[in-house]
Amino acid sequence: MFLRRILFVSLIAFVLLYIRHTWRNLPPASMLDRPEKHLIPATSDPGISFGLIDSIVKIAVDTMLVPGAVLSVYQDGIAIHERAFGYAKRYDFGKKLLAKPDTMTLDTRFDLASLTKVFATTFGIMLLTDAGKISPDMPVSKILPDFTDPSKDSITIRHLLTHSAGLTEWAPIYYHARNEDEARKYISTLPLKYPVGAGRHYSDLGFMLLGYIIEKVSNEDLNSFLQEELYSKLDLQNTSFNPNTDGPPFACTSHGNPFEKKMVYDDHFGFKCDEDPTFFQEWRHYVLCGEVNDGNSYYAHQGMAGHAGLFSTAHELQILLGLLLNKGVYQSKKYIKEETINLFLTKDRFGHGLGWAMSPSAVPVDNLPPGSFGHTGFTGTFAVGIPKYNLGLILLTNRQNLDVNSDGNYNSVTKLRKDVTENLIRMLE
């Protein structure tokens, strides 16, 4: 009996050791048979399920594609993988390599660039719609007094949200305006570039107008409205426009505004501008840390605009993403009606939702499951929600801190986003 007990205990120990050894030496998830349950084990060990994805981001940092990054994956509202890579600030102005660069951390705050369009402005419009104060099909001219050009009478809030209003994609508004009031009046006078509703033409100006609509209807500035009606209720302490310098560190971005300056000076770079490029002489000459990169937000809107200017962390963005994935519910409390969220996350004829990109080619992820939604930001930010797996992915980088290359461009992070997302989805399939 005693010998049998010893043999039994030894057998159990051997099995446990074998399982542990096998688990720790599994090949990347993309090489495994697909599990029946779509739940990735929560782990900080990159050698288990997230080794392949972590290695993709690490290689991007090691090869100087980006100075640093924060990767965050949530499922069912729970963090299942979070990791910071590289540096929040690696270079000082003039591409001077810092002797002691600032390390990236999970709570680093990022300039979200165009993620502002969805995590601030789209949420703002959603809240006002949910409250019955506006509707997506309301004409913009009914709200903004300066929007009186008869050729624009048919433009609705929906057109602005779906980039189909016919507005020009970009213009240096700060050549004509020094504050929001002047910017609103100037944008309202610009002629349309395309027929209303004829096509999707991604436009910063449309989201500037949406920001003005939120302020007009709520009778508050954009940041105050969002703080009172959403961010503070969710206890988001590091999500705001013009963030306080107290608190978590910032991921530093560009060395002034070299990209935008080239857009104005070079007719073959970006969009052709009619302005005299020498008219504006207030270009910044320092590395931006906690100060919005976007020129139209900084110079013409004092850092608070509907298209750019929001700062946040990966964790707090996951809470906002989770609010959408969970149909308006966070910690058992309802903040937005399910029908309102469904309205905003239903594809239009261009294949996108209201504010959110939903086409695999626009996110861009080839194997994106139906119903998924996402957005990118020029500073190197990225977010995608995948309802099929109730999963949120946030990948934030500070690619601009490397400064522009010899062509005047920043390193492209499109492939990095694509590789991370597609491999994550393969792990779930």
pLDDT at 429: 85
Tell whether the model's pLDDT for residue 111 goes beyond 80: yes
User: Is 214 a domain residue?
Assistant: yes
In this prediction the pTM is 0.89
N-term to C-term CA, the chain: 48
Domain that holds residue 144: 110-428
Structure tokens at 58: 């690490």
Query: Cβ distance 42 to 81 under 8 Å?
Result: yes
Alpha helices (runs of H) in 254-411, residue ranges in sequence order: 258-265, 295-301, 314-325, 338-344
Q: Is residue 203, in this structure, part of any structural domain at all?
A: yes
Query: Is there a domain that residue 409 lies in?
Result: yes
Whole-number pLDDT of residue 36: 30
Side-by-side strand order, sheet with 110-111: 110-111, 310-312, 240-241
CB 389 within 8 A of CB 275: no
Domain presence at residue 61: no
pLDDT of the residue at 272:
81
Is pLDDT above 70 for 25? no
Is the distance from CB of 205 to CB of 301 less than 8 angstroms?
A: no
Contact status, residue 3 vs residue 25, Cβ threshold 8 Å: no
* CATH number of the domain residue 274 falls in: 3.40.710.10
Report the alpha-carbon distance of residue 97 to residue 77 in Å, rounded. Answer: 39
Residue 103 domain-assigned (yes or no): no
Can the peptide bond before residue 364 be classed as cis, meaning omega within 30 degrees of 0? yes
Q: Is 87 inside any structural domain?
A: no
Condensed to tens digits (0 to 9), the pLDDT of residues 360-406 reads: 888 989 999 999 999 999 999 999 999 999 999 999 999 999 999 99
The pLDDT value recorded for residue 362 is 86
Counting the structural domains of the chain, the total is 1
Residue 237 in any domain: the answer is: yes
344, part of any domain:
yes
Query: What is the phi/psi pair of residue 16, to 5°?
Result: -65, -40
Mean pLDDT of the chain: 90
CB 348 within 8 A of CB 357: no
Look at residue 349 and tell me whether its pLDDT is greater than 70. yes
